[in-house]
């Protein structure tokens, strides 16, 4: 029963997913399982950090990633962020997970902040020949490469969407072939495809300040009863006296000689009778 319920929940989230997480390439030390799992968008940063052997948050719990060899983790991570689509028709051999939530941009920003020592980023324009995706990856020797591809302005109708998807698939296929020929270092290449969060119906709103009180204009502390100082002093000094008394009793017991200071040992001790 629980199995069918889990499959139903996965199918529901897949239909109403907020994006897709693709694994384009991963070393043998990592295994991304082909399971019907939904990846929360706020845990994308944790999954990539876990794949590189970095610290993750306490709430991270994604069963799709399995670390086979902790000593052979990828030396370089390439993140391709595709904005403007919900999914890309890649080949069936690519492991993919549906994304749930509107926190993907915030998670990627956290990932870039954690990798400030060795990172590079570039904006790719698939409609022009200024810089392609492979050039962005090859030119960078950093451990973390972030490539952003924003196609939200290019997708206006079905014909434009079909053309953009075709160009994007060609870019990703070229990148995969280039990565497959790289044998000098292990690479982790993931592609996250999601809609533009600015155009989403779910947006982050600022928190309004609490309205001020009309009876307490200057935000003063609460007024206590006039007997409060008396009660406070009684309790305070009683606890001080009790603590000093306990300390004195403990010191006296520790320094006591049972044979000389205790009446109990005197009354119970037997004396030998002497014959005169």
Residues 240 and 115 both lie in one domain: no
Residues 125 and 249 both lie in one domain: no
Residues 155 and 254 both lie in one domain: no
Residues 33 and 122 both lie in one domain: yes
Residues 58 and 99 both lie in one domain: yes
Q: Extract the tokens encoding 133.
A: 């995706």
Residues 97 and 168 both lie in one domain: yes
Does residue 244 surpass a pLDDT of 80?
Answer: yes
Separation of alpha carbons 52 and 30, rounded Å = 10
Give residue 234's domain range: 228-267
φ/ψ of residue 84, rounded to 5: 120, -10
Residues 136 and 243 both lie in one domain: no
| Contact (Cβ atoms closer than 8 angstroms) between residue 149 and residue 124 | yes
Residue 1 lies in a domain: no
Separation of alpha carbons 144 and 136, rounded Å = 12
Residue among 148, 155, 95, 92 at smallest CA distance from 121: 148
Number of domains in the chain: 2
Residue 274 lies in a domain: no
Residues 184 and 250 both lie in one domain: no
The mean of the pLDDT values for the chain is 77
| Contact (Cβ atoms closer than 8 angstroms) between residue 96 and residue 163 | no
Residues 183 and 89 both lie in one domain: yes
Q: Extract the tokens encoding 114.
A: 């954690």
Point out the least confidently predicted range of 6-10, 89-93, 150-154: 6-10
Residues 25 and 84 both lie in one domain: yes
Residue 211 lies in a domain: no
Residue among 168, 172, 165, 195 at smallest CA distance from 85: 195
Separation of alpha carbons 106 and 110, rounded Å = 6
Residue 83 lies in a domain: yes
Residue 207 lies in a domain: no
Does residue 66 surpass a pLDDT of 50?
Answer: yes
Give the CA angle between residues 237, 242, 245 to the nearest 5°.
125
Residue 272 lies in a domain: no
* pTM score of the predicted model: 0.63
Residue among 27, 74, 85, 34 at smallest CA distance from 50: 74
Q: What is the pLDDT of residues 187-201, one digit of tens each?
A: 889 999 988 765 444
Q: Where are the beta strands (DSSP E) in 125-177?
A: 144-150
Separation of alpha carbons 120 and 173, rounded Å = 21
Tell me the range of 56-65, 76-85, 143-152, 238-247 where mean pLDDT is highest. Answer: 238-247
Separation of alpha carbons 99 and 48, rounded Å = 14
Residue 156 lies in a domain: yes
| Contact (Cβ atoms closer than 8 angstroms) between residue 27 and residue 180 | no
Residue among 129, 148, 20, 15 at smallest CA distance from 78: 148
């Amino acid at each position: 029963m629980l199995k069918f319920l889990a499959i139903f929940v996965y199918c529901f989230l897949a239909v109403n997913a907020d994006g897709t997480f693709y694994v384009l390439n991963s070393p043998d030390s990592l295994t991304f399982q082909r399971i019907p799992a939904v990846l929360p968008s706020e845990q994308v940063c944790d999954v990539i950090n876990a794949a590189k052997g970095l610290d993750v948050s306490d709430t991270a719990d994604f069963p799709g990633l399995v670390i086979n060899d902790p000593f052979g983790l990828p030396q370089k991570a390439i993140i391709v962020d595709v904005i403007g689509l919900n999914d890309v028709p890649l080949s069936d051999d690519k492991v993919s997970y549906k994304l749930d939530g509107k926190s993907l941009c915030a998670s990627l920003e956290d990932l870039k902040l954690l990798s400030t020592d060795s990172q590079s980023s570039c904006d790719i324009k698939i409609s022009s020949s200024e810089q392609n995706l492979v050039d962005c990856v090859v030119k960078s020797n950093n451990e973390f490469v972030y490539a952003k591809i924003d196609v939200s302005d290019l997708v206006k109708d079905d014909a434009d969407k079909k053309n953009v998807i075709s160009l994007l698939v060609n870019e990703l296929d070229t990148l995969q072939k280039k990565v497959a020929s790289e044998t000098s270092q292990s690479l982790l290449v993931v592609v996250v495809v999601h809609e533009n969060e600015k155009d989403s119906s779910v947006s982050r709103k600022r928190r309004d300040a609490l309205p001020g009180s009309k009876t307490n204009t200057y935000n003063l502390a609460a007024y206590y009863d006039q007997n409060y100082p008396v009660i406070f002093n009684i309790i305070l000094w009683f606890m001080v006296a009790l603590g000093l008394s306990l300390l004195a009793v403990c010191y006296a017991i520790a320094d006591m000689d049972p044979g000389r200071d205790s009446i109990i040992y005197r009354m119970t001790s037997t004396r030998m009778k002497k014959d005169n």
